[in-house]
Amino acid sequence: MFAPEDLTQDGFLGGRLTLAQPRAGYRSAMDAVLLAAACPARAGQGVLELGCGAGVASLCLGARVPGLGLTGLEVQPAYAALARRNAAANGLVLEVVEGDLAAMPAALRARSFDQVIANPPYFAPFSGTAAADSGRETAQREATPLAVWIDAALRRLRPGGYLTLIQQAERLGDILAALPPRAGSSVVLPVAPRAGRAAGRVIVQARKGGRGPLRLLAPFVLHAAPHHAADHEDLTPEAQAILRAGAVLTLPR
């Protein structure tokens, strides 16, 4: 477990949430908030987050949409405990199940959900330099193939339910290849740092049982200035509304 001195207290959604995160471990930021904003959950629905970490995405979603049944699956016990603590500290209910999605815990195998969200690890095995912190390395580097993440998500979805995930843009082909034939009507939103710059992330949403065509949307642009000129926030109005005010990131379907 994390000692108090190993944690920071970080504000999300313009201060609506204050969440503890490890000072040296894996720290959620913009991607988790975008993921939560893109999930089309409605009050009364059940939402499962695969790899919930400290609970940032699930709790941002819960802060925006009251009345959800939020469940997270997390393989690292210290992060699972931190997610529970963060939920309680912010007056939200988040059930956190400890376990590996590649060997789905019995507590989840018999259940299904209206929505599944995920922010799978971005870095390929044996690529780059390993993080000094083991928790950060586990969260960031792929040990379980992306196709297994998607398979686990689709198994937990109800027919007609939605899978929403955020991932590096270069993995888009792998994501789209893993969805058929169980899911379709896919929508892809590239996320670009600035206008005219290549997308570094993609948000992909697919419907279980969907048969509609793939839709590739215009990029969502994060920063207003054409280049980074100074150390101050220069978010576009659209990004500001989502990251600071908890607005919805609607993906047309």
Instruction: Report how far Cα 145 is from the mean position of its chain's Cα atoms.
Output: 17
- Residue 32 and residue 95: Cα distance in Å, rounded? 18
What does the domain layout of the chain look like in residue ranges?
Answer: 4-223+234-242
Nearest to 72 by CA among 38, 43, 35: 35
| CB half-sphere exposure, 17, CA atoms < 13 A | 29
- DSSP-derived letter for residue 14 is G
pLDDT in tens, the chain (253 residues): 898 899 999 999 999 999 999 999 889 999 999 999 999 999 999 999 999 999 999 999 999 999 999 999 999 999 999 999 999 999 999 999 999 999 999 999 999 999 999 999 876 665 555 544 454 444 455 578 999 999 999 999 999 999 999 999 999 999 999 999 999 999 999 999 999 999 999 999 999 999 999 999 999 999 987 776 666 678 999 999 999 999 999 999 8
Rounded CA separation 33/60 (Å) = 6
pLDDT tens track for 200-213: 999 999 999 999 99
Q: What is the Cα–Cα distance from 182 to 139, expressed in whole angstroms?
A: 27
The domain defined by 4-223+234-242 folds into: Rossmann fold (3.40.50)
Give per-residue pLDDT as tens, 192-247. 999 999 999 999 999 999 999 999 999 999 998 777 666 667 899 999 999 999 99
Residue 11 in tokens: 């504000």
CB 50 within 8 A of CB 23: no
First to last CA, the chain: 42
CA quadruple 112, 142, 220, 216: dihedral sign: negative
**DSSP state, residue 182:** T
